[in-house]
Structure 1
């Protein structure tokens, strides 16, 4: 390799704490270029900054616009093999046009027309679905029933959170006469960057017996009882064995936290701010190895303190309205809107929810993040700004 075709380019710069610019230094740098070497003293500001400086930008996607475009795609784009899923990913404006919401997280709106089925497949990427509106679609997951075999039909309704660990076959079906949209979250960018991803097609179609919409899935029958762990369940899984966290349970927990606060017994993370984390009932830890999911409720008129964390997050407004501030940017948000919080950018909320735009008179925010990755590597840090 000659100096002409090497990708390494070094420039001697007269600056404090840098070596004197001399012909000998220039000759040294040309030698580094030819051997594909980069000295730390020319890069330390980028490689070891005082605090995280994310490649991602903060950005907001309006649900009204996303849903309109998804509906148009529903009438134009098939959902079968080839496209595989009618999923439309959020592309962070600072990540080169890749379909990545953040450097580690994928977020997409998925749209299924009446009577349609998304074909079965599996992948190493860990995933979830969160339903901001609609009902009647179910996801059919293979190998996650109480016996560890067969398929488990899991209903999807507004407010439900459905985690799915990697390498489980799954398909979706819309059994209703109306289209349905939800958001998908996956760790695709993380696995893509680390070159660890696998994918495999499953069956092209489900059997008629599988095309049912049960009130409760088998995973819920076994695992959906608060505080109770079935002794029959001895087979460990990489993610939560509970495949549907119903909104009725999430809502009740948030309501009770705020009720305890009003009665003077605490229970909230700060005044007017209730929050829950979706947990694996087997371990008490996160529902997925690489993704953390939470639901935050900010009572009308309440505001949260700015918080910074290493790693990135994606939020969706589940209900209500208010003002979101990320770094130096603020938006007024409403139901369905999605936004990104890059690493170490402060985020805060002010609720302006009322009876006309909220079921509970509060700003409800669904959040997912890459925190489990950072905690596993002992790189997680959080700071509340005053």
Structure 2
């Protein structure tokens, strides 16, 4: 137990409370030490020797805990919200965030990551706004919604990944007769704790030219040709200028890795485990400055080695079934389920997918993380457990 506390003391008015304790590494408890601690409290001082175990642990101890959310239940609740909650200005988005059970009820999946299910009813428009938080959309099911980024309508279909750097105007419209749900990922908690966030309302309604439904957005026509970079365009904002990473390309890349492995040429990160990272076509960096997005395919019967990383991740099961272990928690998972991997908790997965529950007979996992932040600060560390 730490010898200090930051609860308000009504007698002194100081939020600092220090308690002298008889413990190894602590000074001898004497009246003089007690008087010293009262002086510290008065002047709002906290000595390191009472806090070092909490501030400088031997390894990361995340405030988040491993947790699993079942997609079926999230979808049911989102549908209820679709009947009850308007999507217009004020509530702004019908987005329902994952709240990690150990983060005090805050709408944070981890201390740095936001994940939410967003739900749009037939014919609805989500009004335009912009924010400094970097964001993406990932579609686990459905089609028929277009996200409009800077006036560019971008189609959203199953398996598609749509990154969007901060401070870009964006809205959504559902052009079909069916509701649609997807997941949003943002760095809201990170910008919240660093007190760096800005938000601005845009137009209440997008115009008719933006309510079109093209198969390919302007960004894809310019940037969506593999291995080719247009000489006419240089991005002026952080993040990827490509607003849509289509499932067909992701799926083909993963299948080719597993086929190369089967033919004896390698190509996978470990036996039966294919993986790709979504990259900025301009310079090959992460698609967003604070968020990394990846896709993992684990062949039936294959199991990944336990891995620990600094920083946290959120996974969504795109397809298939299997068993995942995070720390001391093990769950059976299926399509759409989401789970959290906190900092330095070991993670492993085993695929039990078959012909009846997976298009590719594999466990497919979409992952996003805060790795770019940790790499930029030279704090990223990975350890593969034997």
CA–CA distance in 1 between the matches of 2:292 and 2:125?
28
SS at match of 1:245: coil
* Partner of residue 306, structure 2: 306
Task: Give the 5 Å matches for 1:145-156.
Answer: 151-156=151-156
Give CA-to-partner distance per residue, 1:158-198, whole Å, 9 cap, x none: 00000000000000000011000000000000000000000
For the 8 Å contact 2:235–2:241, the answer to whether it is kept is: no
Which whole-Å deviations, capped at 9, do the CAs of 1:278-334 have from their partners, x for residues lacking one?
000011010000000000000000000000000000000000000000001000000
> Does structure 1 residue 338 correspond to structure 2 residue 347?
no
Native 8 Å contact 2:299 2:361 kept in 1: yes
The answer to whether the aligner puts 1:16 opposite 2:16 as a matched pair is: no
The aligned residue for residue 128 of structure 1 is 136
CA contact (8 A) 1:126 1:166 kept: yes
Contact 1:87 1:108 in 2 (8 A): yes
| Conserved? CA contact 1:122–1:202, under 8 Å | yes
Q: TM-score, normalised by structure 2?
A: 0.97
Match of residue 183 from structure 2: 183
Are 1:119 and 2:127 an aligned pair? Answer: yes
The 2-side partners of 1:117 and 1:107 are apart by 21
What is the alpha-carbon distance in structure 2 between the residues aligned to residue 102 and residue 372 of structure 1? 15
Query: Residue 3 of structure 1: CA displacement?
Result: 5.6
Alignment of 1:165-184 (within 5 A): 165-184=165-184
Residue 253 of structure 2 aligns with which residue?
A: 253
Shift of 1:206: 1.1
Q: Please name the residue that 2:35 is paired with.
A: 27
Cα distance in 2 for partners of 1:279, 1:296 equals: 15
Mapped to 2, the partners of 1:233 and 1:257 lie a distance apart of 31
- Paired with 1:310 and 1:182, the residues of 2 have a C-alpha distance of 27
Task: Give the secondary structure class of the aligned counterpart of 1:110.
Answer: strand
SS at match of 1:324: strand
Q: Does 1:277 align with 2:277?
A: yes
Contact persistence 2:154–2:244 (CA under 8 A): yes
Give the drift of 1:235.
Answer: 3.6
Matches of 1:178 and 1:251 in 2, distance apart? 26
Whether the aligned pair in 1 keeps the contact of 2:87 and 2:94 (CA below 8 Å) is yes
CA RMSD of superposed structures (Å): 0.9
Structure 1 residue ranges (4+ consecutive) displaced by more than 3 angstroms after TM superposition: none
Separation in structure 1 between the aligned mates of residue 259 and residue 146 of structure 2, nearest angstrom:
33
Q: TM-score, normalised by structure 1?
A: 0.97
What are the within-5 Å matches in structure 2 for residues 320-331 of structure 1? 320-331=320-331
Answer whether contact 1:2 1:34 (CA < 8 A) is retained.
no
Instruction: Determine if the alignment matches structure 1 residue 80 to structure 2 residue 84.
Output: no
Structure 2 residue runs without a partner (length 5+) = 1-8
